[in-house]
Structure 1
């Protein structure tokens, strides 16, 4: 399913996508804001090229892409985007996910995930969560964990809800795409390592987030977040220099046409630069890797309405386009 055409599709002169034609292989494409695509294998004379391959040599290839975008109207293989299937824009080697990074969202979750026997009034638990968030900000302590690339799917693909997932939920997120190897980079220099940005919907089964059988272990991100297709990604990567201010982007998620999430990245506790820098202190970030920056308020636990068979999610972020995914219940074997 593809969203209704919009013009322009994204900010800036071009974006990167991974496409395929009927029965054909996936290929990297330069996409123009008016909805056309140019096959970069032909344009850059490399039949084995991938979007991740472009990101590996991002500093040197970016000027060539800008030149191609300026002359895209004259490209011999320029074709309408509607002729192709849109896949996730990149296959990352690593996915870094940020937890508890939107203040209002975390407070809502704190209230929704009431511990057994906690009968305190909602106002008291909200105040407790707010104090925790303020302390985290003061102590400069982001929270990052690892996701699996196998959970990624395309921006218009169906999402299969596993039979075991009792409380599947949505989490629209801004994702930074790494363009240079980054290890122990400073906050001041972190954005120099970001090639661009895309949209991620980091689905979560709320029923399996916490190990109630072993509370001392805490969260179980493998079980709750990494089912196949639980991270719709894309539709494309918009270069960083086309995104003017990651500190004030609007994230909107609609469920069956009803707005559920509508928030600015202003509500982030830690900004994109801080998240990239923090992740790089422990691990080396590689070209094509993703740093998901957390999800704002308005998830299903807040509304008391979780995902079910037939639901359609429309997610958009300022300047990055939109994705549409339909939920399909897993057929019991």
Structure 2
């Protein structure tokens, strides 16, 4: 299933729906469905049949506003330099390749919707983009083995790990501040459940800026795959339903060439089988 949070384009109450082609079917009539997809995730196994069969009101996707599928995760974590080609371009710029998994927090207040604006901070001229496969955790878990890691995944979404480079590399060496500006976590367009994807390690990713291709890679270029990531993290912490893992970006980011985002730019990030998010860069008001 493809599960989305949406509201009528003119405003109104947020609802959860099932995406079918160019339409979305309301699921409000299914017992247990509220406006929170995070709250629904632990119930997906028992509610799946009802969710798939529900025949509530239908809306054209073009007529609704899509919200961030999960706007209230307990954790939004990202891994740095986890694609071989990206690590190589970073090394060429003098940034050493980590010898183990390098994780950082994106504060959850950065999350925004799949078509909402990205605000360029007035204090920075080094606004960068990073397409990433987002993994959403489906159950409370700790000490998960690599072999069992897929069983704790609820599904996937497209993320753009927007980064403020002059804060990331110069003013906040822990990455957290440079990764956590408001609106710098667009995700979506919906949650695609794990059963819809044959192999999440064989998906095509492409990011364009104003229609120009900047990143164009497959998820099989990861240094640490998503199962190794889950096993590594759960040695340290309990992952909860709805937690989001941004699993690394491929080569082509703006930093090595200085091609940073400008006001008016339109950034489109698309992953095969998961859909696309598209966000315009606006000035901080």
5+ residue gaps in structure 1?
1-13, 69-74, 116-128, 213-217
Other-structure match for 1:165: 124
Partner deviation per Cα, 1:9-34 (whole Å, 9 max, x = no partner): xxxxx3000101123121111111x1
- Aligned pairs for 1:234-273 (under 5 A) are 234-273=188-227
Structure having the higher Rg:
1
Other-structure match for 1:39: 26
Q: Residue 229 in 1 paired to residue 160 in 2? A: no
Other-structure match for 2:66: 86
Q: Residue 308 in 1 paired to residue 265 in 2? A: no
Q: Sort the Cα spacing of 1:62 and 1:303 in 2 relative to 1 into closer, same or farther, 3 A.
A: farther
Give the conservation status (yes or no) of the 8 Å contact 2:143–2:234: yes
The structure 1 segments of at least 4 consecutive aligned residues displaced by more than 6 Å after TM superposition are none
Higher strand share: 2
* Superposition CA RMSD, Å: 1.7
Q: Residue 155 in 1 paired to residue 155 in 2? A: no
Supply the distance in 1 between the matched residues of 2:137 and 2:33 (Cα, whole angstroms): 23
Q: Residue 109 in 1 paired to residue 63 in 2? A: no
Other-structure match for 1:203: 162
Kindly state the Cα deviation for residue 278 of structure 1 after the two structures are TM-superposed: 1.3
Q: Residue 48 in 1 paired to residue 30 in 2? A: no
Partner deviation per Cα, 1:190-215 (whole Å, 9 max, x = no partner): 11000100000001111122346xxx
TM-score scaled to structure 2, two decimals?
0.94
5+ residue gaps in structure 2?
none
Supply the distance in 1 between the matched residues of 2:142 and 2:249 (Cα, whole angstroms): 25
Partner deviation per Cα, 1:186-245 (whole Å, 9 max, x = no partner): 111011000100000001111122346xxxxx7232321101100110000111111111
Kindly state the Cα deviation for residue 64 of structure 1 after the two structures are TM-superposed: 2.7
Supply the distance in 2 between the matched residues of 1:96 and 1:76 (Cα, whole angstroms): 35
Supply the distance in 2 between the matched residues of 1:49 and 1:326 (Cα, whole angstroms): 26
Give the conservation status (yes or no) of the 8 Å contact 2:5–2:35: no
Supply the distance in 1 between the matched residues of 2:265 and 2:38 (Cα, whole angstroms): 32
Aligned length: 283
Give the conservation status (yes or no) of the 8 Å contact 2:4–2:66: yes
Supply the distance in 2 between the matched residues of 1:111 and 1:242 (Cα, whole angstroms): 38
Q: Sort the Cα spacing of 1:46 and 1:188 in 2 relative to 1 into closer, same or farther, 3 A.
A: closer
Supply the distance in 2 between the matched residues of 1:203 and 1:39 (Cα, whole angstroms): 31
